[in-house]
Structure 1
């Protein structure tokens, strides 16, 4: 049996310090095959399957949104964390057999198996993090992604204003579209305020290995980087130890690194999950692309407040970031989505 945990929004948030705060199409894809009928009154039964701890950046945002839905009374929520890829299909089937209305998770390494499970349980709604688009052979399998390139671009504007060496280090997990597009957007923002900046780009081959990320960051600092893009945990620790600056990703860790983390691009999963809950309750859930709900204009991402760096970032950079943010929300400025693997300068 999977390690199933029931999420009580009060006790769980006390027990775990959950870290708070497309090119695929400009709107959700419409595909055939609505799921069942409108659900009865009362909270939906929702289960989540995570391959990493819920403290990990990306998953923590999904977990936070689910707890918010619990607090509103919209869902009942259980989850499994640290589920291996080899065990993912079994856990997914067990949750499906248990009669959950909606199952969420991330299937980047188990795509084919996960879609087969969805075909085997056509009355269950699945909302899964994926690099691929929905398909008409799995009409109950919707996908999402963290398209937070808008916020990443804005964080780059701030970072470019803070570098003195015009050398930046970037440490990521894997060179997949979900990471690549954020790195490219960040670099584009940096070039707005520091056009001559060069970048060192490295991937550690893991989603959760803080020691390895830290050692990789140390090497980039030794090569001259004075600002680090912390796509993984461990990078900000290296920056703190060496007395340089870091830019956060997905979550805001400035409270833990008040003299290190200047700005962060924050992912808000609430618009994505809330839309799925609405569709399941209405009996209208189908194989859509929910990635668009991560866009800034949909409320799916934001630039974290400067906090301890208020007044320390040059006014011109702050003004430019605010102007770009307004233009993005108005639809007058579009941040490029580039999913190609970024390279060092």
Structure 2
């Protein structure tokens, strides 16, 4: 009997020692996380929806990745042309197996898969672009691109002679709908008679489809083409027809020099540096980030000689008014295509309403199928 009791006591003591050891290990892990990581301990993964050579959206993100490497000296890897579907989950797990402890997923359609993988890998920091879901170790980020879209709309509104402006849109999701509305409000601020015609391609990256959609808009009378697409295909169509263009994502001047006037552009690098530096400092936490022109995450590329007379002055004034808060882009009164008042005079759309945007303002010709 005494032997059994002694054995039991030994087992209890061993179990206590084991539990204390586990608690200490967990505490050490927490303390290490709070203390941060060195650049040698960091490996950052980037998941792209298109190829880095698209000259647009994915190219802009990859420039941000290279900026991160340059500024912080951390190791990075990337996967390009990743499907916005179940295959994304495998890519995420493969990156974790390769040692990535910070992962940026750069397209809306990755969101649900990032959320799932984040829950089973709490030690990894995930940042998802353009979505809204969050977990304890998954944040989201985007920029108030509608500010730069509004400015680019001013250029288009001053340039058009037919008062018909074409817009090639990827998908009828809130991000793109918001962009088209902001662009149109910019157009209307200087040319209330102009209309913006929209055609959807239902793809982020397909140079042929993007160009074909632009050609259809040009055939219908548009003399300026804008876009929410990843390549310069729409602008090249404009150049071939002696029309003019507004780009997106990057400065696309070299892609269609005779048509291009300016672009609404992304500058991801400083944000990537900021987030990884916080991981290194042990101060990172999941958050929802929506930067503005004040943060330099977005902006307008320099105007070219194709831009209309007076555009520079009009842009500078409008930008100053946005930055000062004098101009609220989505302030009422705002009326939809059917003439219904959606935002009353004196009211302003909330961030949540902007993130769920699913209607077009009056002055836009085109339909939103997804509501």
Instruction: Tell me what 2:109 maps to.
Output: 109
Instruction: Tell me what 1:132 maps to.
Output: 132
Report which stretch shifted further, 324-333 or 263-272: 324-333
Q: What pairs with 1:37-52 in structure 2 (closer than 5 Å)?
A: 37-43=34-40, 44-52=42-50
TM-score, with structure 1 as normaliser: 0.83
Instruction: Tell me what 1:236 maps to.
Output: 235
Q: How many angstroms apart in 2 are the aligned matches of 1:156 and 1:35?
A: 49
Report which stretch shifted further, 329-338 or 159-168: 329-338
Picking from 20, 36, 55, the partner of 2:53 is 55
| Structure 1: stretches of 5+ with no match in the other structure | 1-32
Instruction: Tell me what 1:155 maps to.
Output: 152
Q: How many angstroms apart in 1 are the aligned matches of 2:326 and 2:274?
A: 25
Deviating 4+ runs (over 6 angstroms): none
Per-residue displacement from partner, 1:250-306 (whole Å, max 9, x unpaired)?
11111221210111111111232122112211222222012x22x101111111111
Q: Secondary structure at the match of 1:37?
A: helix
Instruction: Tell me what 1:9 maps to.
Output: none
User: Does the CA contact (< 8 Å) of 2:36 and 2:283 recur in 1?
Assistant: no
Q: How many angstroms apart in 2 are the aligned matches of 1:324 and 1:251?
A: 21
Report which stretch shifted further, 185-194 or 229-238: 229-238
Q: Secondary structure at the match of 1:109?
A: helix
- Across the aligned residues of Structure 1 and Structure 2, the Cα RMSD in angstroms comes to 2.1
Q: What pairs with 1:230-269 in structure 2 (closer than 5 Å)?
A: 230-232=227-229, 233=231, 234-269=233-268
Q: How many angstroms apart in 2 are the aligned matches of 1:35 and 1:172?
A: 46
Report which stretch shifted further, 326-335 or 68-77: 326-335
Q: How many angstroms apart in 1 are the aligned matches of 2:198 and 2:245?
A: 14
Instruction: Tell me what 1:220 maps to.
Output: 217
Which protein, 1 or 2, shows the higher relative CO under an 8 Å CA cutoff with sep ≥ 6?
1
Q: Does 1:344 align with 2:365?
A: yes
Instruction: Tell me what 1:313 maps to.
Output: 308
Q: Secondary structure at the match of 1:164?
A: coil
Q: How many angstroms apart in 2 are the aligned matches of 1:212 and 1:341?
A: 24
Report which stretch shifted further, 329-338 or 154-163: 329-338
User: Does the CA contact (< 8 Å) of 1:35 and 1:123 recur in 2?
Assistant: no
Instruction: Tell me what 2:26 maps to.
Output: none
Q: Secondary structure at the match of 1:99?
A: coil
| Structure 2: stretches of 5+ with no match in the other structure | 1-29, 331-348, 367-371
Instruction: Tell me what 1:81 maps to.
Output: 80
Number of paired residues? 305
Q: How many angstroms apart in 1 are the aligned matches of 2:59 and 2:178?
A: 20
Instruction: Tell me what 1:17 maps to.
Output: none
Q: Secondary structure at the match of 1:142?
A: strand
